[in-house]
Amino acid sequence: MNSVIGYYSTKFGELWKMSLDDLFLAASCGVLESTKLEIGQIDAVFIGNMLGGVVDNQLLLSAHISEILEVDIPIYRLEAACASGGMAFQTANEYLKSHPESTVLVVGAEKMTDISATDITTALSTAASLDEQKVGLTFPGVYALLAQVYLNEYGYNEEHLAAVSVKNHAHGVLNDNAHFQRYVTIDNVLESPYIAYPLKVLDSSPISDGAAALILSNNKQLIKTRNSSVILASEMATDNISISKRRNLDEIYSTKKAGTEAFKKSKIIPLDVNVMEVHDCFSIAEILALEDLGFWKKGTGGGYAKEMATHIDSGNNLIVNTSGGLKAAGHPVGGTGVKQIGEVYLQLTGQAKRRQVKNTKYGLAHNVGGSGGVAIVTILGV
Amino acid sequence: MVGITDYGFYIPKYRIKVSDIASQWGKCSEKVENTLQVHEKAVAGIDEDVLTMAYEASIMALSSNKNLRSEIGSVFVGSETFPYAVKPTSSSLGEWLGLSHDYLAYDTQFACKAATGALISAMGLVKSKDISTALVCGSDKANARPKDVLEYSASSGANAWVLGRENIIAEIVDWTSFTSDTPDFWRRSKAEFPSHAGRFTGTPAYFYHITRAIEKLLQKTSMTTDMFAHVVFHMPNGSFPLKAAKILNITKEQMHQGYIVKNLGNSYSASALMGLVSVFDVAKPGEKILFASYGSGAGSDAIIFNITDKIVEKRKNFLKMISEKTYIHYITYSRNMGIIK
C-alpha cells in the first residue's frame, strides 16, 4: 500500500536569503537526508508550485528541477493555486498505484516575498474567475462574502471567527518552523485593521516563503525500515471558479465532495480522525471546512470555534491545525498542501515534538485552491 | 587634526501631526504613533526646496566668520530630492552664498546617507591639505506616496557643516563605511515617489548595516560603546534607532539628545546629521560622540567625533529654535509638497 515514509519542511516566513531554487533544494535534500535515501532511489518527482511563472519568470519547472537535483527522471509540475501541493501529492499517489515497487518525491515550494504585497495579491488573484477579477473581487473579498453569509445566516459575529486565529496562533507557538510563533488574543484579532469586512488582518494567513517535501513509496522494504504512515485516500474534487455560480455560499462544495470520497475510500468515519490540518487561509475557511468535511453540523461551527473545541489543550478527540495552520505556520501557497500532509504524518508517527497529540491513529489533510475551485482531501493512518 | 569648525541647520516652521495624516486615511492614530514613535513632522513651505533649505543652513554655518566664504575649496550637497535631475544644486548654493568660483562642487546621492558620504570625502580633501575648508550640506524635502507608511515620517530639513584643520569644535577621530547591494528602498528615474520593501527595510537593511559599521569602527579604534557620551543613528522612524541601540548595548541616556525624530520626522539626508546638531547643543569638551547614518541601497557611515573646548562659542540652541512652529492640515501639507497643484 502507498505510504508516506519521510517529511521535511523549511522554516516558513520571510526568507529573504532563499530563492525558489534554494527552497526546492533545501526541502528535497532535507527529506532525502532524513529518510537516508539517495536521489538515485527516487523514480519520479511531483512539484507543487503556483507562482514560479509570475514571481520568478520561471516555467518549465520540470526541467528546472531536473537541473537543480541533477536527475533525468520524470518530473511533474502541478498547479492548482493554493492546492498545488495537495494536487502534487494526490497525483503522486495515483502514479504509485500504477508503478509498483516505486518511490517518489513530492515537493511544494513558493517564493512570495520578493515582490510587493500589491503585486503578489495581483498574482494570487489569477486563480479567481476572470469576470470576478475584473470587478475587483480579490481572495480576501471572496472569503469576506462567504463570512458575511455565514455570520448572517447562523447568527454569529466576528468574535467567533477571531477564535480560530487565536487557537491556531497558540499551536504555531509550538512549531519551530512556523512563520508566526506568538500568541494573539481575541482583542488583538478584533482590533486589527479590516482587510475586507468582516475579515481583518489577523483573520488572514500571511504571505510566506517556504517549502516542504514528502517521500511516498510502495516499496515494502523501504516502508518497513522507515517511520511510515499509510495513505488511505487522497481525493480531489473541483467546482466552479466563479462564486457567482456556486450553489451555496455557506459551504465549499468541492470540500464536501472530496471529503465524502476520501472517507468512502479510506473506510473510516470522521469520528475516527484524531488530527487534522485544514485550509484556514481565512478564519471563516476553517469553520466551513469542519462543517463541510462532516465533523460539525452545518451552522454549528461558529459555536465550536468560539469554544476552541479543537485546541491542543481542549481534551477533545479531534485537534485541528497543530502546525498553526495557514494562519500561524504561514502560507507559501505551493508548499502548504505538502506541509499539511507532512504535519499529519508527523502526528501519526509520533514525531511532532512539543505539539504531539496523544494516541493518534488517523489524520486528515484538507487543501483548497482558488476559494473552492479545487479541493483535495487526504487521509493517512497508522 | 581635521574636523568640524562650524555648523548650521534649517527646519521649516510648518508641522503636521501624525494624527492628522492618520485620520485622513481612516487609520487609528494611536496605533500609528505607537508603532512608528513619531508624533509630528516638519514640512517645507510651498516656496522651499532642497536648495533654499541648504542655503539657510549654510548661512548659519558661515555666519561667525566673514573670511570663510573665500576659503571654501569644496561644496557638496547630499540629497534624494534635488530640484533638478540634471543641474547641480551645489553650484547654485555656492553662487547664492557668494563663494569664490575656485571650488570643487558636486551633488551626492545615496538615499539617506548622501551627505555623510560627502562629509567623509570632504574630510579627506581637508586632511590631505588639497583644500583648507569644505562645506557639506544634507538637505531634503522628503516626499512619500500618499497613504504609504512613509508619509507619517518623511519630513523636511537641512544642515550644513564646515570642515577645516583649525578652530575645530568636533574632531573627526575615525570613520568606517559598510556597504552592500541591498534593495530595501528606491525611487526609479522619473518616479514621483519612493518605493520600499516593507519589513525588508529592517533586519537585512537598516539594522545589519548600522550594526556592522559600528562594530567595525569600534574594532578599528579599540573603543567600546560605554566610552561615548552621545550616540546618534539615522532616524527613519522612532523605533529603529532605539532598537539598534539595544542591539549594540547603548543606553537610552546616550541616545537621548540626538533622538529628535518624534517631533521632526525623518528629513532623509539631513536626518542623522540633525541629531548631531542637537547633540552639539549640549556636548561638553572632551566628550565623544558615536554617529552612524544609514542609506538604503544600502550602506552606513559610522563616525566618531571628539568635542573640543571651541564648541562653547559655536552652539546654536537648536531645540529652542525649532520650538517655533505653525501647524498645518493635510490639505496644506499636500499643497506644500506638490502632491496637489
The answer to whether position B51 is within a domain reads yes
* Gyration radius from chain B CA atoms: 19
pLDDT at site A353: 97
Are B183 and B286 in a shared domain? yes
Is B65 part of the contact surface with chain A (CB cutoff 8 Å)? no
Compute the average pLDDT of residues A91-107.
98
Q: Which of residues 23-52 of B touch A (CB under 8 A)?
A: 27
The answer to whether position B201 is within a domain reads yes
pLDDT at site B198: 87
Judging contacts by C-beta atoms under 8 Å, the chain B residues touching residue A121 are none
The answer to whether position A100 is within a domain reads yes
Taking only the tens place, the pLDDT of each residue in A25-78 is 999 999 999 999 999 999 999 999 999 998 889 999 999 999 999 999 999 999
Residue A9 has pLDDT above 90, yes or no: yes
Taking only the tens place, the pLDDT of each residue in B295-326 is 999 999 999 999 999 999 999 999 999 999 99
Catalytic residue numbers of A read 82, 331
Are B10 and B147 in a shared domain? yes
Is A208 part of the contact surface with chain B (CB cutoff 8 Å)? no
Residue A300 has pLDDT above 90, yes or no: yes
Pairing assessment for the beta strands A199-200 and A75-78 based on DSSP bridges: unpaired
The answer to whether position A120 is within a domain reads no
* Run of H or E including A104: strand A103-110
pLDDT at site B341: 83
Is A117 part of the contact surface with chain B (CB cutoff 8 Å)? yes
What one-letter code names the amino acid at B243? Answer: K
Are B44 and B58 in a shared domain? yes
Among B27, B195, B200, beta carbon nearest to A16: B200
Residues 6+ apart with CB under 8 A from A364: A262, A273, A275, A276, A277, A293, A344, A377, A378, A379, A380
**Distance (Å, whole) CA B296 – CA B240:** 14
Are B27 and B140 in a shared domain? yes
Taking only the tens place, the pLDDT of each residue in B102-156 is 999 999 999 999 999 999 999 999 999 999 999 999 999 999 999 999 999 999 9
The answer to whether position A121 is within a domain reads no
Residue B184 has pLDDT above 90, yes or no: yes
pLDDT at site B230: 98
Are A53 and A140 in a shared domain? no
- Structure-block grid coordinates of residue B59: 548661512
* Residue contact B198–A117, C-beta within 8 A: yes
Judging contacts by C-beta atoms under 8 Å, the chain B residues touching residue A116 are 195, 197-198
Judging contacts by C-beta atoms under 8 Å, the chain B residues touching residue A193 are 27
Terminal Cα-to-Cα distance of chain A (whole angstroms): 12
Burial class (CB in 10 A: 0-12, 13-18, 19+), A17: exposed
Are B144 and B8 in a shared domain? yes
Are A110 and A131 in a shared domain? no
Compute the average pLDDT of residues A108-135.
90
Burial class (CB in 10 A: 0-12, 13-18, 19+), B19: middle
Terminal Cα-to-Cα distance of chain B (whole angstroms): 49
For residue A21, what are the domain limits? 3-115+208-224
Residue A117 has pLDDT above 90, yes or no: no
Are B140 and B214 in a shared domain? no
The answer to whether position B64 is within a domain reads yes
Minimal C-alpha gap between B52 and chain A (Å):
35
* Phi and psi, residue A319, nearest 5°: -110, 130
Are B58 and B145 in a shared domain? yes
Are B103 and B212 in a shared domain? no
- Structure-block grid coordinates of residue B259: 533622538
Is A16 part of the contact surface with chain B (CB cutoff 8 Å)? yes
Are B178 and B278 in a shared domain? yes
The answer to whether position B312 is within a domain reads no
**CATH code (residue A366):** 3.40.47.10
DSSP string, A252-304: -HHHHHHHHHHHHHHT--GGG--EEE---SBHHHHHHHHHHTTSS-TT-HHHH
Helical ranges in chain A per DSSP H: 20-34, 52-55, 61-69, 84-97, 117-124, 130-134, 139-154, 158-172, 186-191, 220-225, 253-266, 283-292, 301-307, 325-329, 333-348
The three-point CA angle B294-B300-B303 to 5° equals 105
The answer to whether position B277 is within a domain reads yes
Is A56 part of the contact surface with chain B (CB cutoff 8 Å)? no
The answer to whether position B261 is within a domain reads yes
Compute the average pLDDT of residues B175-189.
96
Of the candidates B239, B178, B180, B181, the residue with the CA atom closest to the CA atom of residue B210: B178
* Residue contact B200–A117, C-beta within 8 A: no
**Distance (Å, whole) CA A350 – CA A356:** 7
Are A185 and A52 in a shared domain? no
Catalytic residue numbers of B read 80, 112, 234
Are B117 and B196 in a shared domain? no
Q: Which residue of B186, B188, B200, B201 to mutate against A (max A Cβ within 10 Å)?
A: B200
pLDDT at site A224: 96
Are A80 and A172 in a shared domain? no
* Phi and psi, residue B164, nearest 5°: -160, -175
Judging contacts by C-beta atoms under 8 Å, the chain B residues touching residue A14 are 199-200
Judging contacts by C-beta atoms under 8 Å, the chain B residues touching residue A113 are 200
The domain boundary, picked from A195, A224, A253, lies at A224
Taking only the tens place, the pLDDT of each residue in A125-151 is 889 999 998 888 888 999 999 999 999
Are A166 and A292 in a shared domain? yes
Residues 6+ apart with CB under 8 A from A328: A165, A168, A169, A171, A172, A173, A175, A178, A179, A180, A181
Is B204 part of the contact surface with chain A (CB cutoff 8 Å)? yes
For residue B271, what are the domain limits? 171-307
DSSP string, B84-127: -SSS-HHHHHHHHHT--S-SEEEEE-BTBTHHHHHHHHHHHHHH
Minimal C-alpha gap between B193 and chain A (Å):
15
Minimal C-alpha gap between A205 and chain B (Å):
17
The answer to whether position B331 is within a domain reads yes
* Residue contact A116–B199, C-beta within 8 A: no
The Cα-based distances of A261 to A1, A43, A236, A267 in angstroms read 18, 28, 8, 10
Give A213's strand partners: A8, A107
Residues 6+ apart with CB under 8 A from A304: A287, A290, A296, A310
Q: How many CB atoms lie within 10 A of CB A213?
A: 33
pLDDT at site B237: 97
Are A19 and A111 in a shared domain? yes
* Residue contact B197–A116, C-beta within 8 A: yes
The Cα-based distances of A126 to A80, A120, A369, B43 in angstroms read 11, 10, 11, 41
* Phi and psi, residue A10, nearest 5°: -75, 170
CB contacts < 8 A (A, B): 11
- Report the domain count for chain B: 2
Residue at grid coordinates 495515483: A94
The answer to whether position A255 is within a domain reads yes
* Residue contact A113–B200, C-beta within 8 A: yes
**CATH code (residue B86):** 3.40.47.10
Are B272 and B325 in a shared domain? no
**Distance (Å, whole) CA B246 – CA A369:** 44
The answer to whether position B70 is within a domain reads yes
**CB neighbour burial string for A349-369, b if at least 16 within 10 angstroms, e if fewer:** beebeebebeebebbbbbbbb
Residue A118 has pLDDT above 90, yes or no: no
Pairing assessment for the beta strands A275-277 and A229-238 based on DSSP bridges: unpaired
User: How many whole angstroms from its chain centre is CA A40?
Assistant: 28
Is B193 part of the contact surface with chain A (CB cutoff 8 Å)? no
HSE (side-chain half, CA atoms, 13 Å) at A118:
5
Whether omega for the bond prior to residue B244 falls within 30 degrees of 0, making it cis, is no
Are B158 and B175 in a shared domain? no
- Report the domain count for chain A: 2
* Residue contact B199–A14, C-beta within 8 A: yes
Are A109 and A166 in a shared domain? no
Residues 6+ apart with CB under 8 A from B66: none
Helical ranges in chain B per DSSP H: 18-24, 29-36, 50-62, 68-71, 89-97, 114-127, 208-221, 239-247, 252-256, 261-264, 271-280, 318-321, 330-336
pLDDT at site A274: 97
Helix, strand, or coil (residue A92): helix
**Distance (Å, whole) CA A286 – CA B270:** 50
Whether A13 and A210 have beta carbons less than 8 Å apart is answered as yes
